Amino acid sequence: MTPTPSLLGARRLREVLDRHGVRPRKELGQNFVIDPNTIRKVIEVAELSGHERVVEVGAGPGSLTLGLTAAAREVLAVEFDRCLVAVLKETLEGVGNVEVLQQDAMKLDFGSLHADALVANLPYNIATPLVMSVLQQAPQIRRLTVMVQREVGERLASCPGSKSYGQASVMVRYFAHARVAGRVSRRAFWPIPGVDSVIVDIVRRDQPPEGDVDLLAGIVRAAFAQRRKTLRNSLAPLMGSTERSLEVLKRAGIDGGARAEEIGLDGFLELVRAWR
């Protein structure tokens, strides 16, 4: 763990961006965190001990990266935008426990990384698929602490019966325990986004429940494809007919008139067992 560097604030961040002639790119979902207290809160939620190798996705100009280098043994800072990589390297000048990788995170093989945790201010347009990719590919990453759009964060951590409960909620729950650990003011970012954000903390289970995860994903996807439909109707195309879906639902102990948002992970796992 290195000595705590001076965190980037709004003024210093704008100065370094101006020197490099870089502006935030809306098409890449770039909203840079500028509030040191928010950075400290994210690191506090991540509960880093100083021994972890942390991967950060969307490092941007390095606001969160600087904080992570003081809290972790080593940081792998991933940034897609080549222009921002130059900014990031200036921000991190003199910091020894960080490696910068210019790559599209959606093409990164997380399973090959020697990392214990992921901590990131995730671009809104990749948040859900990236979280799912890490959970599926990289069992060595035991904890994910991410800032995401509020609606996305609530979906990742939702329980059955909630309006935000959906396909991602079930699949995250298969791999991990997730919670919304705090809200983040829009003014913690520059430029100020048009949406609210939250910090989501996702801690991987020691062992996922027994069950065919690919079949589970297919059933969950079909169940939530048309939320207003009852399960006997939403699962019929997948299972071949309404009669077949009713038969499987009955074996699983689930009312065919129920809707997907009423069913927890255990219920979907019963459907997997009943259909096999």
Stated pTM of the model? 0.94
Average pLDDT over residues 217-243: 96
- pLDDT tier, 1 (very low <50, low <70, confident <90, very high otherwise): low
CATH number at residue 268: 1.10.8.100
Does 2 map to a domain?
A: no
Residue that is written with structure tokens 């130059």 in the block: 86
Q: Which of 139, 172, 141, 142 is CA-nearest to residue 157? A: 172
Does 157 map to a domain?
A: yes
Domain that holds residue 264: 213-275
Choosing from 204, 226, 245, the residue where a domain stops is: 204
Choosing from 186, 204, 222, the residue where a domain stops is: 204
Instruction: Tell me the C-alpha distance between 256 and 276, whole Å.
Output: 18
Instruction: Tell me the C-alpha distance between 151 and 131, whole Å.
Output: 15
Q: Is the pLDDT of residue 100 over 80?
A: yes
Indicate the average pLDDT of the chain. 94
Q: Which of 173, 174, 136, 135 is CA-nearest to residue 157? A: 173
Name residues whose C-beta falls within 8 Å of residue 92's C-beta, 6 or more positions apart in sequence.
62, 65, 66, 69, 77, 98, 100
Instruction: Tell me the C-alpha distance between 201 and 63, whole Å.
Output: 19
Count how many domains the chain has: 2
Instruction: Tell me the C-alpha distance between 191 and 30, whole Å.
Output: 8
Beta bridge partners of 95: none
Identify whether the C-beta of residue 72 lies closer than 8 Å to the C-beta of residue 43.
Answer: no
256 shares its domain with 157? no
Share of the chain above pLDDT 90, in %: 86
Average pLDDT over residues 115-141: 95
15 shares its domain with 90? yes
Residue 150 C-beta-side C-alpha neighbours within 13 Å: 10
pLDDT at 123: 83
